[in-house]
């Protein structure tokens, strides 16, 4: 049962149809959608249950006819796709229609864990652009980092900061996405237990927190920069009222987006509403704003001393990465590859933020030996010459469970294992056995589906 107070509070909001809304919640219908990774694109990406049509507001989203076991799909672990709610993929329209994505941009995804929108944004920005994917709650940062690594890009920094820490980066970002923590009513169909946690009081608390988050991060947006605000709440207090407050208190213009009528998205006074009885997706709200005052930041040179590699170490590592211009820096023994064009920005950010991941962790150099990192196997930076062994489905699952695997290897040493041509991770082939280097913390814990 939906909270009566929620339903009555929605009366009069654009697009709200009480009967249809209650019916769709009572139906028990579940929608499953995925968004493919264009960098790892191939036909093999779509999981076994097949495709149930494209999500209309994105190039990369598909509905699935039924929900497969993603845990037991090796391509899920290879980062070929991300399981994501369809409505929230609308962020693609917000970005495409308000910013020139071909330019080098600095984008902040402020409330990023577990990383769905960050991975999507990364697929849309250019290689020379930098995405700062931030999560304030420490216990949620690891899942964000793991998902960013799995996506395989090198132009992302993962940080663990409070919104007010970004005040130090005044006028820095071209785009800031605030996918705000909210009362969550938009996901009631998917997670009926959350209904019990809903209260009017929580809506008020969320609304105050949303204002605080926006006020804290706003100085970090440069003049003419775009702020994208979204929630998965139906409550006006967390949606249009926040937009109204922004327009009264902050120097912003509300941006309108062109939406195709057949999408059935409802345009409200300041944003876009997704009602589950009208779209094939869950409840969602999104609004865009352009900052009208402020400046362009001139980046000051950094004070940070970076631990660069010596000539011999660079020679070792160059056998493992594509011949792109990257700077290699050592941090806590691990060697990270940072795109040359982004390295000054990333060093600058390291001075101001609590960075937990940057670029691509390539591995460890111990004397003249290289121990590759799992992140390198997932990354586009990996050299194409690295030997790879194909595993069948059953052996892939064993590998992902971090069990002993048997396969024919015609050489010893570090090799990739692949399923359908997609990297799953590393093995080290010794004369008498194969060591499985799949990260322990990522392994599939279940025995079978
Ligand atoms: N953007 C994510 C995605 O697409 O996968 C989902 C983000 S979720 C709606 C909101 C996030 O805000 C959560 O990860 C939560 O931990 C974080 N959060 C909670 N309190 C916050 C605060 N005071 N400031 C900033 N973020 C907060």
pLDDT tens, position by position, 77-134: 999 999 999 999 999 999 999 999 999 999 999 999 999 999 999 999 999 999 999 9
Check if 213 has its Cβ closer than 6 Å to any atom of ligand 1.
yes
Question: Do 235 and 248 fall within a single domain?
Answer: yes
**Contact predicate 125/102, CB 8 Å:** no
Angle of CA points 367, 371, 372, to nearest 5°: 140
- Asked if the model's pLDDT at residue 405 lies above 80, the reply is yes
119, burial (CB in 10 Å: exposed 0-12, middle 13-18, buried 19+): buried
pLDDT per position as a tens digit, 215-237: 999 999 999 999 999 999 999 99
Question: Do 261 and 303 fall within a single domain?
Answer: no
Q: Could you tell me whether strands 252-255 and 221-231 are parallel, antiparallel, or unpaired per DSSP bridges?
A: unpaired
Check if 136 has its Cβ closer than 6 Å to any atom of ligand 1.
yes
Q: Could you identify the atom of ligand 1 that is nearest to the CA of residue 88?
A: 4
Q: CA dist 335 to 291, 314, 324, 327, 365, Å? A: 38, 10, 16, 10, 8
User: What residue has token string 């998902």?
Assistant: 147
Token output for 71? 């845990």
Q: Could you identify the atom of ligand 1 that is nearest to the CA of residue 144?
A: 5
Return the H-helix or E-strand segment holding 360. strand 360-366
Q: Could you identify the atom of ligand 1 that is nearest to the CA of residue 117?
A: 4
Count of domains for the chain? 3
Instruction: Indicate which residue's Cα is closest to atom 15 of ligand 1.
Output: 181
For residue 284, the SS3 value is: strand
Instruction: Indicate which residue's Cα is closest to atom 17 of ligand 1.
Output: 111
Token output for 251? 């120097």
Whole-model pTM: value is 0.97
**Ligand 1 center from residue 40 Cα (angstroms):** 27
Neighbouring CB atoms inside 10 A of 11's CB total 8
Report if residue 63 sits inside a domain.
Answer: no
Token output for 404? 């002993």
**Ligand 1 center from residue 284 Cα (angstroms):** 15
Query: pLDDT band at 331, cuts 50/70/90?
Result: confident
Instruction: Indicate which residue's Cα is closest to atom 9 of ligand 1.
Output: 181
**Ligand 1 center from residue 141 Cα (angstroms):** 10
**Contact predicate 81/26, CB 8 Å:** no
- Asked if the model's pLDDT at residue 45 lies above 60, the reply is no
Q: Could you identify the atom of ligand 1 that is nearest to the CA of residue 113?
A: 14
What CATH number is given to the structural domain containing 338?
3.10.450
Question: Do 309 and 399 fall within a single domain?
Answer: no
Domain final residue, candidates 291, 325, 344: 291
Query: pLDDT band at 48, cuts 50/70/90?
Result: low
**Ligand 1 center from residue 328 Cα (angstroms):** 31
Q: Using CA atoms, how far apart are residues 385 and 393, in angstroms rounded to an integer?
A: 24
Instruction: Indicate which residue's Cα is closest to atom 18 of ligand 1.
Output: 181
Question: Do 270 and 256 fall within a single domain?
Answer: yes
Question: Do 202 and 176 fall within a single domain?
Answer: yes
Question: Do 374 and 394 fall within a single domain?
Answer: no
Instruction: Indicate which residue's Cα is closest to atom 16 of ligand 1.
Output: 137
Q: Which of 111, 137, 282 to mutate to test the pocket of ligand 1 (most atoms within 8 A of CB)?
A: 111
What CATH number is given to the structural domain containing 413?
3.10.450.720
Check if 114 has its Cβ closer than 6 Å to any atom of ligand 1.
yes
**Contact predicate 220/175, CB 8 Å:** no
Return the H-helix or E-strand segment holding 343. helix 340-352
Question: Do 365 and 219 fall within a single domain?
Answer: no
Instruction: Indicate which residue's Cα is closest to atom 14 of ligand 1.
Output: 113
Report if residue 163 sits inside a domain.
Answer: yes
Instruction: Indicate which residue's Cα is closest to atom 11 of ligand 1.
Output: 111
DSSP assignment string, 78-114: TTSEEE--SGGGGHHHHHHHHS-TTS--EEEESS-TT
- Asked if the model's pLDDT at residue 407 lies above 90, the reply is no
Domain final residue, candidates 257, 291, 325: 291
What per-residue confidence (pLDDT) applies to 294?
A: 86
Q: Using CA atoms, how far apart are residues 249 and 353, in angstroms rounded to an integer?
A: 27
Domain housing 394: 387-449
**Ligand 1 center from residue 182 Cα (angstroms):** 8
Query: pLDDT band at 303, cuts 50/70/90?
Result: low
């Amino acid at each position: 049962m939906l909270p009566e107070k929620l339903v009555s509070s929605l009366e009069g909001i654009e697009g709200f149809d009480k009967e249809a809304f209650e019916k769709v919640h009572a139906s028990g219908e579940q929608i499953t959608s995925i968004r493919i990774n264009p960098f790892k694109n191939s036909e093999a990406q779509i999981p076994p249950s097949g495709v149930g049509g494209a999500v209309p507001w994105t190039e990369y989203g598909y509905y699935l006819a039924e929900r497969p076991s993603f845990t037991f799909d090796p391509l899920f672990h290879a980062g070929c796709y991300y399981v994501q709610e369809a409505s929230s993929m609308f962020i693609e329209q917000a970005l495409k229609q308000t910013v020139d994505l071909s330019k080098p941009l600095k984008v902040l995804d402020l409330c990023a864990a577990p990383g769905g929108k960050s991975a999507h944004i990364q697929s849309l920005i250019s290689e020379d652009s930098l995405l700062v994917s931030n999560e304030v709650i420490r216990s949620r940062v690891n899942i964000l980092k793991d998902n960013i690594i799995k996506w395989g890009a090198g132009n992302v920094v993962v940080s663990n900061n409070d919104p007010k820490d970004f005040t130090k980066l005044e006028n820095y970002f071209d785009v800031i996405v605030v996918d705000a923590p909210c009362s969550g009513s938009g996901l009631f169909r998917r997670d009926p237990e959350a209904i019990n946690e809903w209260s009017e009081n929580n809506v008020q608390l969320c609304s105050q927190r949303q204002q605080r988050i926006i006020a804290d991060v706003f100085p970090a947006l440069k003049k003419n920069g775009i702020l994208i605000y979204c929630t998965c709440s139906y409550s006006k207090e967390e949606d249009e009222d926040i937009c109204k407050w922004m327009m009264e208190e902050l120097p912003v213009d509300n941006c309108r987006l062109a939406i195709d009528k057949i999408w059935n998205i409802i345009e409200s006074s300041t944003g876009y509403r997704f009602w589950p009885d009208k779209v094939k997706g869950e409840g969602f709200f999104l609004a865009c704003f352009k900052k009208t005052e402020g400046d362009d930041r001139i980046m000051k040179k950094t004070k940070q001393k970076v631990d660069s590699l010596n000539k011999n170490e660079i020679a070792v590592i160059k056998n493992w990465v594509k011949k792109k211009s990257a700077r290699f820096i050592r941090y806590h023994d691990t060697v990270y590859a940072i795109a040359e064009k982004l390295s000054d920005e990333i060093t600058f950010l390291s001075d101001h933020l609590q960075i937990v991941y940057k670029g691509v962790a390539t591995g460890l150099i111990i004397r003249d030996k290289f121990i590759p990192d799992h992140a390198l196997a997932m990354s586009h930076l990996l050299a194409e010459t690295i030997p790879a062994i194909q595993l069948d489905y059953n052996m892939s699952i064993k590998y992902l469970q971090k069990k002993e695997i048997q396969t024919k290897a015609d050489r010893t040493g570090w090799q990739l294992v692949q399923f359908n041509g997609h990297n799953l991770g590393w093995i080290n082939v010794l004369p008498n056995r194969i060591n499985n280097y799949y990260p322990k913390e990522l392994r599939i814990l279940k025995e079978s589906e």
